[in-house]
């Protein structure tokens, strides 16, 4: 893997890419594709569909490169495009069903943290097993660091629905992790 002096070369690659330089665009793609596929994969269960979402995201990146004003992180800008693309894909497939529910007060107080020795791929499988609405809110909040107000705006739901979806996702994951730990301790 080729390591590039990131800040200097990003600016050069971005500048060249804005002018339509295909080689520079390819280099940017090569630098960011692995991370962005990972971002898409957090929302999309199928690797093939996640790859398609990522490619569509990169098409938007290169067609809207002029809107990146070098304020903030270029990677963060790309990441936001990928998240939006993944959510658009979920909406297209009508998989993202979020029902309006009553707000759960102080939902953070209800969360118990469980220590576990699960591998990353096992955790990803558990997240993939969540209903799509729960999964999307969980990833946006716990992985991407969005606030409930931002999630509500992005998904066109209320903040209370976002909080409820997160609460339910955490409860399901805690149960899965607890069951997994029981199984793994029982087999030793």
pLDDT tens for residues 172-187? 988 888 877 666 555 4
| For residues 137-150, average pLDDT | 91
Domains parsed from the chain with CATH numbers: 6-92 (1.10.1740.10), 107-186 (1.10.10.10)
* DSSP states along 101-144: ----TTGGGGPPP------HHHHHHHHHHS-HHHHHHHIIIIIS
Above 80 in pLDDT, residue 107? no
Banded pLDDT at 99 (limits 50, 70, 90): very low
Exposure string for 142-173, b = 16+ CB within 10 A, e = fewer = eebebebeebbebbebeebbbbbbbbbbbebb
What does the pLDDT average to over 38-42? 92
pLDDT in tens, 5-14: 444 567 888 8
In the prediction, which pLDDT does 144 show? 87
Task: Share the mean pLDDT of the chain.
Answer: 80
Give pTM, 2 decimals.
Answer: 0.66
Say if CB 24 and CB 16 are below 8 A apart: yes
The answer to whether 131 and 141 are in contact (CB under 8 A) is no
Share of the chain above pLDDT 70, in %: 76
Separation of alpha carbons 58 and 70, rounded Å? 17
Q: Is the pLDDT of residue 87 over 50?
A: yes
């Amino acid at each position: 893997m080729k390591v590039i002096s990131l800040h200097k070369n990003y600016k050069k690659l971005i500048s060249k890419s804005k002018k339509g330089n295909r080689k520079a665009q390819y280099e940017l793609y090569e630098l960011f594709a692995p991370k962005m596929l990972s971002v898409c994969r957090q929302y999309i269960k199928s690797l093939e569909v996640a790859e398609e979402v990522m490619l569509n995201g990169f098409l938007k990146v290169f067609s809207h490169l002029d809107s990146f004003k070098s304020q903030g992180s270029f990677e963060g800008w790309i990441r936001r495009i990928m998240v939006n693309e993944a959510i658009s894909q979920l909406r297209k497939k009508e998989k993202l069903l979020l029902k309006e529910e009553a707000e759960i007060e102080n939902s953070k107080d209800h969360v118990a943290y469980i220590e576990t020795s699960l591998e990353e791929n096992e955790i990803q499988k558990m997240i993939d097993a969540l209903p799509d609405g729960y999964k999307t809110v969980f990833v946006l909040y716990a992985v991407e660091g969005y606030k409930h107000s931002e999630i509500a705006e992005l998904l066109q739901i209320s903040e209370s629905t976002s909080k409820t979806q997160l609460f339910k996702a955490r409860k399901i994951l805690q149960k899965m992790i607890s069951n997994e730990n029981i199984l793994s301790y029982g087999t030793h």
